[in-house]
């Protein structure tokens, strides 16, 4: 068999603008890199300075023997603000095309490679309605500027990247925008910070890599088709395609359906968008093996690359054959490569990949070119500069380019247009096999959704309720209708709301599930034996859910690890209860026992080292909220609210340890100095803030996007209303409560005026302020602080989602949000006191499942 490739076969290398150009600071990915708590291990910075060095780089690529160069145009440079196009940027990319022509390289241009302008994010990013037309407008400016030398363009790189990531992380319950750092992705400060840098909020923010749901797929598909139509008009004759990242679908017995689902999501669902294209751009790096339960590990001992996936050079030919059987278009390999520092293995990877492609071409597969990823070691997104695919190394201290032996090897193949080593494709390890070509993915029958009809929807924003319908599928809100419209009813259980109000579930922002007293059981003190305490906490969790609180943010516990175990039981379905941000014991310094005595722990030593160790210990046991008593409590000890219990050095150590360990600091802070120290140390939640002075208010306002305040009015009013037994003297407590209430009536409106996020959460669980009474705070916000009922509800729902770290998916009635819902018999936006009667909650849904079913509802499913 001849080793030659077809005469017109194209050999090339690829780069992407953000990964090589440097200082691409107007795009969303730059905002993600710079965000506080970002998972990116490096910042792209100057990258490899390709924006300035492109002429020398292109000359080097050509000198190695390659015939085409795939590079991308950066939208954020070309259109730095909406509708404003940069002549300098367009001239630059035309110069890159001209440099290719000068050195005998065909330019293969990608019009979008992951990064987008920051200004696109407030418009919804890659889930935005206007995005397809905006992308097409950008393309209309770029194509004429590039000139006639450009004969092939890829509109969008790896259109399926969001789908791929969504599948990869679905078992973890979330979809990261890019990369794999689970803990950093969940940290809300990072996502909120990136969104803010782009001029929007995390709800609206949607980078290209995040667009993996149906709406994202539809937006990207529409953008590709709109761009193709524009190119046909402004640059007739230019060949157009899109690229998809496709792993080889392998299966073990029983894995056929899962492998087919992967192939459908990553390839077949894109066929309508591809219809009308001139070529298909294929990108592959490895294979994925599926079993009955989903993706399975590769066989023991299988070689992996520096990217962590299987060394599978034969995968590219298998995927090309599969694509060719389903899509009658020429195929250009636009990415394939090896990640790692062992360049000998890179050469082996290239040889075996090309041997497979050569055999496929001999069998009639229309492969017209091979593009290696990547020309240079570069900035590999979240992994930074440590993940190296390049044929050419780069000394980043000098920016010197250093071709590797693999660069000369592939260049020799390109010059010869033939295989130069007698290499044959190798059998892939293990007993898995390719997914049969004729297998059709049959989606499993979806479980019935739920349609709430005949309801008025309070969406959580504070706006007036509106008549409408809402549909839930799985654990998400999937459709909302208003103004007499109807949501889809197919395969759904209908729930007649009988004119009630459907609203988001409530969040308790100052939860004490281990504080013993509840509306169901009075406990005269605070101490219970460990076994009773555990059962009491479980009962309190259920009670809060019974009363409409689908989320709780813990403000401290009477046990070091109980809340962590309780959260795990709730999340696994073992116990009913709200979503829970768990805490350990409240931390107080060594004391004489006259402080709050919130639970004993060995870590309560003094000094920055001990404080930091306590925070680290909370991380080790699985807590998320770490509660500090920054000031004392005058209700228990006269004058204690004005006492600072920690030094600035101790609190700064706590803040540093919390940031290092991805924890949230929560502080009991009455005194003005306590508030100031809490803000400066990076506390995320502050309670009370009773004696905040002007300086403290200014600090709170300056950090209003980073923190939350819960005035804890419930405990104050409960103290004033309490009728204790004769043996229990509450005279001093009541006197202190009168002072606190008077101050808070002035303080809270001022905090609100300054835009500080204020939440209900009234320190419930004491004998005179029982758990289960938590919705009383809503009435008190109206009575004492000037809130309307709708505003109070918004504080407990929309802001509740934000304090839980889920502001982009919890606390509002929006499509795609988590289905934590309450169906209220009555209108709480007119009389918020209705929320205190659990019998008025006709239905309670958490995470798409009913905790409380509406009575006398039909079980029938709509056809």
Query: For residue 39, what pLDDT is reported?
Result: 87
**Pairwise CA distance, residues 850 & 857, whole Å:** 13
Query: For residue 604, what pLDDT is reported?
Result: 62
* CB-CB contact of 621 with 584 (8 Å): yes
Query: For residue 169, what pLDDT is reported?
Result: 55
Query: For residue 175, what pLDDT is reported?
Result: 40
DSSP string, 26-80: TBHHHHHHHSTT---SS--TTTT-HHHHHHHHHHHHHHTT--EEEEE--HHHHSS
Query: For residue 213, what pLDDT is reported?
Result: 85
Structure confidence at residue 828 as a pLDDT band (50, 70, 90): very high
From the CA atom positions of the chain, what is the Rg in Å?
30
**pLDDT score of 227 more than 50:** yes
Query: For residue 774, what pLDDT is reported?
Result: 96
Query: For residue 855, what pLDDT is reported?
Result: 76
Task: Tell me which DSSP letter residue 448 carries.
Answer: P
**Pairwise CA distance, residues 836 & 643, whole Å:** 35
Query: For residue 440, what pLDDT is reported?
Result: 83
Structure confidence at residue 422 as a pLDDT band (50, 70, 90): confident
Distances (CA, A) of 715 to 596, 634, 709, 832: 15, 13, 15, 19
**pLDDT score of 599 more than 50:** no
Neighbours of 532 (CB within 10 A): 12
Structure confidence at residue 862 as a pLDDT band (50, 70, 90): low
Distances (CA, A) of 446 to 64, 442, 491: 54, 11, 8
What is the mean predicted confidence (pLDDT) over 226-241?
98
Query: For residue 572, what pLDDT is reported?
Result: 87
Q: Give 250's strand partners.
A: 289, 434
In 267-330, alpha helices (H):
271-274, 315-326
Burial class (CB in 10 A: 0-12, 13-18, 19+), 384: middle
Quick one: which of 339, 427, 349 has its CA closest to 386? 339
**Pairwise CA distance, residues 341 & 343, whole Å:** 6
Q: Give 551's strand partners.
A: 507, 579
Query: For residue 31, what pLDDT is reported?
Result: 97
Quick one: which of 660, 668, 574 has its CA closest to 618? 660
* CB-CB contact of 583 with 559 (8 Å): no
Structure confidence at residue 856 as a pLDDT band (50, 70, 90): low
DSSP string, 608-649: HHHHHHHHHHHHHHT--EEEEE-B--TTTSTTGGG-B-S-HH
Structure confidence at residue 723 as a pLDDT band (50, 70, 90): confident
* CB-CB contact of 710 with 681 (8 Å): no
Structure confidence at residue 636 as a pLDDT band (50, 70, 90): confident
Tell which wins on pLDDT, 161 or 595: 161
**pLDDT score of 589 more than 80:** no
pLDDT tens track for 468-484? 999 999 999 999 999 88
Distances (CA, A) of 585 to 531, 563, 621, 632: 17, 9, 12, 16
Query: For residue 425, what pLDDT is reported?
Result: 87
Bridging pattern class, strands 821-824 and 708-710: unpaired
Euclidean distance between the first and final Cα of the chain, in Å?
Answer: 60
**Pairwise CA distance, residues 112 & 130, whole Å:** 16
Q: What phi and psi values does residue 824 have, to the nearest 5 degrees?
A: -105, 130
* CB-CB contact of 274 with 327 (8 Å): yes
Query: For residue 358, what pLDDT is reported?
Result: 97
Structure confidence at residue 835 as a pLDDT band (50, 70, 90): very high
Burial class (CB in 10 A: 0-12, 13-18, 19+), 549: buried
Query: For residue 808, what pLDDT is reported?
Result: 87
Tokens of 695: 């300086």
Q: Which of 139-153, 174-188, 574-588, 775-789 has the lowest mean pLDDT?
A: 174-188
What region does 94 belong to: left with phi over 0, alpha with psi -120 to 50, or beta?
A: alpha
Q: What phi and psi values does residue 165 have, to the nearest 5 degrees?
A: -70, -40
pLDDT tens track for 157-201? 999 999 988 766 554 344 444 333 444 444 456 778 899 999 998
What region does 484 belong to: left with phi over 0, alpha with psi -120 to 50, or beta?
A: left
Structure confidence at residue 447 as a pLDDT band (50, 70, 90): confident
Query: For residue 861, what pLDDT is reported?
Result: 53
Quick one: which of 310, 359, 364, 365 has its CA closest to 332? 365
What is the mean predicted confidence (pLDDT) over 192-215?
89
**pLDDT score of 860 more than 70:** no
Q: What phi and psi values does residue 192 have, to the nearest 5 degrees?
A: -65, -40
User: What's the CA angle centered on 473, arms 468 and 479, to 5 degrees?
Assistant: 30
Bridging pattern class, strands 501-504 and 449-457: parallel
Query: For residue 600, what pLDDT is reported?
Result: 46
What is the mean predicted confidence (pLDDT) over 423-442?
91
* CB-CB contact of 674 with 644 (8 Å): yes
**DSSP run (H or E) holding 218:** helix 214-234
**Pairwise CA distance, residues 331 & 17, whole Å:** 23
pLDDT tens track for 788-816? 999 999 999 999 999 999 998 999 999 99
**Pairwise CA distance, residues 243 & 369, whole Å:** 14
* CB-CB contact of 716 with 735 (8 Å): no
What is the mean predicted confidence (pLDDT) over 329-354?
98
Distances (CA, A) of 100 to 8, 51, 66, 395, 454: 18, 14, 11, 24, 64
Tokens of 531: 């076994």
pLDDT tens track for 93-110? 999 999 999 999 999 999
C-alpha atoms less than 13 angstroms from C-alpha of 70 in its C-beta half-sphere: 32
* CB-CB contact of 212 with 166 (8 Å): yes
pLDDT tens track for 644-696? 999 999 999 999 999 999 899 999 999 999 999 999 999 999 999 999 999 99
pLDDT tens track for 527-583? 899 999 999 999 999 999 999 999 999 999 999 999 999 999 999 899 999 999 999
* Nearest 10 degrees: Cα torsion 336, 340, 345, 347: 50
DSSP string, 476-520: EEEEEEETT-----TTEEEEE-TT-EEEEPEEEEEE-TTS--BSS
**Pairwise CA distance, residues 550 & 472, whole Å:** 16
Domains and their CATH numbers in the chain: 10-434 (3.20.20.80), 447-504+808-863 (2.30.40.10), 506-774 (3.20.20.140)
Q: Can the peptide bond before residue 374 be classed as cis, meaning omega within 30 degrees of 0?
A: yes
603 three-state secondary structure: coil
Tokens of 781: 């916000």
* CB-CB contact of 175 with 208 (8 Å): no
Tell which wins on pLDDT, 179 or 766: 766
**pLDDT score of 285 more than 90:** yes
In 249-364, alpha helices (H):
256-266, 271-274, 315-326, 343-362
Quick one: which of 617, 703, 604 has its CA closest to 663? 617
């Amino acid at each position: 068999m001849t080793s030659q490739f077809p005469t017109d076969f194209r050999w090339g290398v690829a780069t992407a603008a953000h990964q090589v150009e440097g200082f691409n600071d107007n795009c969303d990915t730059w905002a993600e890199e710079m965000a506080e708590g970002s998972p990116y291990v490096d910042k792209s910075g100057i990258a490899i300075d390709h924006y300035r060095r492109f002429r020398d780089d292109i000359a080097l690529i050509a000198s190695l023997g390659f015939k085409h160069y795939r590079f991308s145009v950066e939208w954020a440079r070309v259109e730095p603000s909406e509708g404003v196009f940069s002549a300098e940027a367009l001239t630059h990319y035309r110069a890159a095309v001209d440099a290719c022509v000068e050195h005998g390289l065909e330019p293969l241009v990608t019009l979008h490679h992951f990064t987008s302008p920051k200004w696109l994010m407030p418009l919804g990013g890659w889930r935005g309605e206007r995005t397809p037309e905006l992308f097409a407008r950008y393309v209309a400016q770029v194509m004429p500027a590039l000139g006639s030398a450009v004969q092939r363009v890829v509109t969008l790189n790896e259109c399926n990247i969001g789908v791929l990531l969504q599948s990869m992380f679905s078992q973890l319950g979330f979809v990261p925008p890019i990369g794999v750092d689970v803990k950093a992705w969940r940290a809300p400060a990072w996502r909120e910070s990136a969104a803010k840098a782009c001029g929007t909020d995390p709800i609206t923010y949607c980078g290209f890599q995040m667009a993996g749901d149906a709406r994202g797929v539809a937006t990207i598909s529409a953008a590709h088709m709109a761009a193709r139509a524009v190119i046909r008009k402004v640059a007739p004759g230019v060949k157009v395609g899109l690229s998809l990242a496709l792993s080889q679908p392998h299966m073990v017995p029983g894995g056929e359906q899962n492998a087919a689902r992967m192939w459908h999501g990553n390839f077949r669902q894109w066929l309508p968008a591809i219809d009308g294209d001139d070529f298909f751009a294929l990108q592959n790096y490895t294979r994925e093996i599926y079993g009955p339960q989903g993706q399975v590990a590769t066989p023991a001992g299988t070689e992996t690359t520096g990217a962590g996936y299987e060394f599978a050079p034969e995968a590219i030919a298998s995927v090309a054959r599969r694509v060719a059987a389903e899509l009658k278009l020429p195929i250009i390999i636009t990415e394939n490569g090896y990640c790692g520092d062992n360049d000998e293995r890179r050469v082996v990877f290239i040889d075996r990949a090309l041997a497979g492609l050569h055999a496929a071409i001999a069998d009639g597969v229309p492969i017209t070119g091979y593009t290696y990823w990547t020309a240079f070691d570069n900035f590999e997104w979240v992994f930074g500069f440590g993940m190296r695919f390049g044929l050419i190394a780069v000394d980043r201290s000098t920016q010197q380019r250093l071709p590797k032996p693999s660069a000369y090897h592939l260049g020799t193949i390109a010059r010869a247009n033939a295989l130069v080593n007698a290499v044959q494709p190798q059998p892939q390890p293990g007993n898995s096999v390719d997914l049969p070509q004729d297998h059709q993915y049959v989606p499993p029958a979806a479980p019935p959704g739920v349609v709430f009809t005949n309801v008025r929807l309070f969406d959580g924003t504070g706006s007036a309720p509106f008549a409408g319908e809402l549909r839930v599928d799985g654990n998400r809100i999937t459709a909302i209708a208003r103004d007499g419209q109807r949501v889809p009813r197919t395969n759904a259980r209908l729930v007649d709301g009988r004119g009630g109000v459907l609203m988001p579930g409530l969040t308790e922002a100052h939860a004490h599930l281990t504080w013993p007293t509840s509306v169901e059981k009075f406990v005269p003190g605070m101490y219970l034996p460990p076994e009773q305490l555990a059962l009491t906490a479980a009962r309190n969790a259920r009670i809060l859910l019974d009363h409409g609180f689908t989320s709780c943010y813990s403000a401290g516990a009477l046990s070091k690890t109980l809340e962590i175990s309780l959260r795990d039981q709730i999340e696994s379905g073992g116990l009913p209860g709200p979503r829970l941000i768990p805490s350990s014991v409240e931390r107080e310094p060594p004391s004489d026992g006259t402080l709050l005595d919130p639970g004993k722990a060995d870590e309560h030593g003094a000094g920055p080292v001990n404080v930091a160790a306590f925070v680290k210990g909370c991380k080790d046991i699985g807590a998320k909220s770490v509660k500090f008593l920054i000031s004392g409590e005058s209700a228990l000890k006269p004058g204690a609210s004005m006492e600072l219990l920690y030094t600035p050095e101790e609190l700064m150590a706590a803040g540093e340890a919390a940031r290092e360990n991805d924890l949230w600091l929560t502080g009991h802070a009455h005194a003005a100095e306590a508030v100031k120290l809490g803000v400066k140390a990076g506390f995320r939640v502050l309670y009370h803030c009773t004696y905040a002075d002007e300086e403290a208010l200014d600090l709170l306002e300056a950090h209003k996007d980073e923190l939350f305040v819960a005035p804890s009015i419930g405990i104050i009013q409960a103290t004033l209303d309490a009728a204790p037994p004769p043996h229990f003297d509450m005279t001093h407590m009541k006197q202190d409560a009168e002072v606190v209430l008077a101050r808070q009536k002035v303080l809270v409106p001022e905090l609100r005026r300054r835009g500080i996020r204020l939440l209900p959460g009234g320190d419930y669980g004491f004998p005179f302020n029982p758990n289960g009474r938590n919705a009383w705070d809503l009435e008190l916000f109206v009575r004492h602080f000037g809130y309307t009922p709708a505003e109070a509800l918004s504080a407990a729902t929309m802001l509740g989602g934000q304090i839980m770290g889920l502001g982009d998916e919890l606390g509002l009635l929006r499509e795609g949000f988590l289905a934590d819902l309450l169906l209220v018999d009555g209108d709480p936006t007119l009389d918020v006191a209705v929320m205190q009667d659990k019998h008025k909650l006709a239905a309670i849904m958490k995470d798409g499942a009913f905790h409380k079913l509406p009575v006398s509802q039909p079980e029938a499913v709509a056809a």
